[in-house]
Structure 1
């Protein structure tokens, strides 16, 4: 039977390609007769550009840009024809902030300025369609840093320019005129559908993983509310409650306010890499799909990649399995999303071992799962 292995990256431990190869290796050990096909995926976050280049080719342009803490980092964008694919995480990703530096102060001042620098580079190179992959950010600045890099700088009531970071937006009173993208289509390829504010918003849901404690999270949410008012006045569009406005720490809101069209990052990649054709072949052979990510949790059910794979499998009547680093989704919730079973490396090998040898322990888990599911 055909087994389609289509995972996302596993946090900072395995790229999507490496995760797919590890799962395929383990599966083949247990079921050598199965036709195992690897289709590495991304949902807009880390690995977005790499996965698309593997599938589409194109030219990857590298550029030194401002990182989330103001330090220079190497960002990149992929050019295919007149389309540019940007990975926001390349400029402001959480992987640029070591775990020991993820503090409330850092969460309050992290910036998306580098994303704006990449957007400007793609625009200046002649791109007529700019697709920004959203996810995996270290920022909660509502996209203010990106806008500033494009010329729409935030200022306080006295006209003084605000420093970078979401915390400073509590004093935001206006924006310099936002940039015009005449003749350029903007697309926000989001990994989640969260709104900008509130209990399901950018600060409350994603702030803790970026270093924000309860007090910093509340401060950021209040600051984003102020910024949402300013953004609505400046652009004539109030996007705070739109789906994906809270993606990448509110970067989605800034893009939507600029007129970007929202797409599911996972759905976009699924289409571009040919996942549907592979699932059709799996269905014809009575096969199944295997997907995965670092942490399979309730956030995974809000538009992330595993749900896109699960929906595709369910549409064809084939099982979908999730292999993750850690899993906290209940069986009922997983089933409602189209996932037949979920397995976690940490449950089988232990968290310490899984971090020490992520590829080896993932392959071992896949081998065990294959013995249960292969015909």
Structure 2
């Protein structure tokens, strides 16, 4: 209390997207509206965040400004779409999901044996053409499993089969590769950085095909085919691509976005934490200083959320500063013990609040506003 009045509560609102319903910016706005409806005198710091998946470019543009460049490209099945590249100084931020995202595919079209990352190559080329010296590529939400072979082909590296025919798109075709030719056409010194929410390797039981292939449409038999194909492809890159590191198939982060991480590593790039990058670039850590409460969230708060994703990064930072952290999510399947270990104080589900999955999908903004108003009544000193 200051001069007989309660001091305003400082709340940092920093959710990720609610996949299929709200962007991170929209989710943050709904939470802020709900809080302000009950406690308008409090200080709200709104910092929508992303971990490298869908929304990566939008979140960074909201914080950094810069120039958004529309780029004609193709989706995982080769159909025309428009992607966006964010230019900030000499750095380009690229979202792989703009070209390779699972959201481009209807349920019956999901088949990682044939989907391709070729469209991402157009976005990287556009970044270089705009004068950038570095492309930071958000990795996540992909509908592909071709180890970045499509992207590499768009950049100039071509794969051939035993009949000297260019390979068909997709991860399964890589098992027939016997030779790679050409060279990657990027400016000398151009740097590639992958921003990822996972550290899985390219192959094996924790690899791209086994862990993420099924959610992209891979049947059990497909997983074995794809894993073998990607292992074969990694060996060929080690032999035929100058500068490709040894042990590519086992390198952490290589399995991100269906193996796009491995393609970046093969070109001499590096993989970094997407949420750590966004925390830094959006000034989230500075915003947390002096906060009384942090509200974060995403569509599904599950065990994967606690492995390098937004909630893990935000809650961990809040825990280290001794700040309560509340998660608002479409659904919550984590237990209280693992939530607490990660730094989460409380977690609320839109499904539980609204009463059904259908309502949670249909009216997520309303649900977030209502839950945020409830939190304001609980935490604010200025609640109506």
TM-score, normalization by structure 1: 0.93
My pick for the range that moved more, 334-343 or 171-180, is 171-180
Matches within 5 A, 1:331-370: 331-349=336-354, 350-370=356-376
Aligned to 1:240: 249
Q: Does structure 2 conserve the Cα–Cα contact (< 8 Å) formed by 1:354 and 1:362?
A: no
Say whether residues 1:330 and 2:331 are aligned partners: no
Say whether residues 1:263 and 2:272 are aligned partners: yes
Distance 1:374 1:207, change over 3 A: farther
Q: Does structure 2 conserve the Cα–Cα contact (< 8 Å) formed by 1:178 and 1:234?
A: no
Rounded Cα–Cα distance in structure 2 between residues aligned with 1:269 and 1:85 = 11
My pick for the range that moved more, 251-260 or 28-37, is 28-37
My pick for the range that moved more, 242-251 or 331-340, is 331-340
Residue-by-residue CA offset, 1:97-129 (whole Å, 9 max, x unaligned): 123433xxx221111101011111211222111
TM-score, normalization by structure 2: 0.91
List runs of 5+ in structure 2 lacking aligned partners.
Answer: 1-8
Q: Does structure 2 conserve the Cα–Cα contact (< 8 Å) formed by 1:197 and 1:240?
A: yes
Say whether residues 1:68 and 2:76 are aligned partners: yes
Report the aligned-residue RMSD: 1.6
Aligned to 1:194: 200
Q: Say which one has the larger Rg.
A: 2
Say whether residues 1:42 and 2:50 are aligned partners: yes
Rounded Cα–Cα distance in structure 2 between residues aligned with 1:9 and 1:79 = 22
Deviation at 1:177, TM superposition (A): 4.1
Deviation at 1:322, TM superposition (A): 1.4
Aligned to 2:104: 96
Name the SS of the counterpart of 1:179 in structure 2. coil
| Aligned residues between the structures | 368
Q: Does structure 2 conserve the Cα–Cα contact (< 8 Å) formed by 1:246 and 1:253?
A: yes
Residue-by-residue CA offset, 1:46-76 (whole Å, 9 max, x unaligned): 1111111111111111111121111011011
Name the SS of the counterpart of 1:153 in structure 2. strand
Aligned to 1:218: 224
Residue-by-residue CA offset, 1:247-268 (whole Å, 9 max, x unaligned): 1111011001111122111111
Aligned to 2:289: 280
Q: Does structure 1 conserve the Cα–Cα contact (< 8 Å) formed by 2:61 and 2:86?
A: yes
Distance 1:217 1:369, change over 3 A: farther
Match of 1:230 among 230, 236, 249: 236
Aligned to 1:28: 36
Aligned to 2:90: 82
Rounded Cα–Cα distance in structure 1 between residues aligned with 2:328 and 2:108 = 28
Q: Does structure 2 conserve the Cα–Cα contact (< 8 Å) formed by 1:228 and 1:240?
A: yes
Name the SS of the counterpart of 1:200 in structure 2. coil
Say whether residues 1:168 and 2:168 are aligned partners: no
Residue-by-residue CA offset, 1:332-371 (whole Å, 9 max, x unaligned): 2222222222221112211010111121122222233444
Deviation at 1:373, TM superposition (A): 4.1
Residue-by-residue CA offset, 1:19-65 (whole Å, 9 max, x unaligned): 00111222233444432221111111111111111111111111111
Rounded Cα–Cα distance in structure 1 between residues aligned with 2:306 and 2:180 = 35
Aligned to 1:141: 146
Distance 1:5 1:26, change over 3 A: same
Q: Does structure 2 conserve the Cα–Cα contact (< 8 Å) formed by 1:177 and 1:234?
A: no
Rounded Cα–Cα distance in structure 2 between residues aligned with 1:78 and 1:330 = 38
Q: Does structure 2 conserve the Cα–Cα contact (< 8 Å) formed by 1:186 and 1:260?
A: yes
Say whether residues 1:317 and 2:322 are aligned partners: yes
